[in-house]
Amino acid sequence: MTIRGIRGAIDVPENSAAAMDRCTQELLRAMVAANNLDVGQIVSVFLTATVDLDAAYPAAAARAMGWTNIPLLDAQEIDVQGSMPRVIRVLMHVESECSHDQIHHIYLGNAVRLRPDLAKPR
């Protein structure tokens, strides 16, 4: 097995713990499903939130899904002027037999505009 990185992002409709939890879990589930992963293949997950999302930790939403033995790390996204507001981004490291071009990166909602090159279906 090789370690691969899977990128993802989702925009969150409001700065509330419920919205952040729901969107984080939606994104993580979509990333796992699109790449036919078993949760046991996940090595670690790095999650960021834009500065306007401070109601909850995205990693707490992953732990609520049962991801208690996976190393998770939250960070604040760089606050770039004019960037898309209320976005959670993910970099998931996984064990996979897939090549780089077989990995499916997931961008949901308005976040598809962040990386339209990666968000296109293959």
| pLDDT tens profile 69-116 | 999 999 999 999 999 999 999 999 999 999 999 999 999 999 999 998
The reported pTM is: 0.95
Query: 120: pLDDT confidence band, cut at 50, 70 and 90?
Result: low
* Separation between Cα atoms, residue 24 and residue 65, nearest integer Å: 10
pLDDT value for 122: 46
* Separation between Cα atoms, residue 48 and residue 57, nearest integer Å: 9
pLDDT value for 121: 54
* Separation between Cα atoms, residue 6 and residue 26, nearest integer Å: 15
Q: Which CATH superfamily is domain 2-119 in?
A: RutC-like (3.30.1330.40)
pLDDT value for 111: 96
DSSP symbol at 81? T
Give the residue from 85, 45, 51 showing the smallest Cα distance to 65. 45
**Tokens (6 digits) for 51:** 């500065």
**Tokens (6 digits) for 56:** 């909850």
Q: Does residue 119 surpass a pLDDT of 80?
A: no
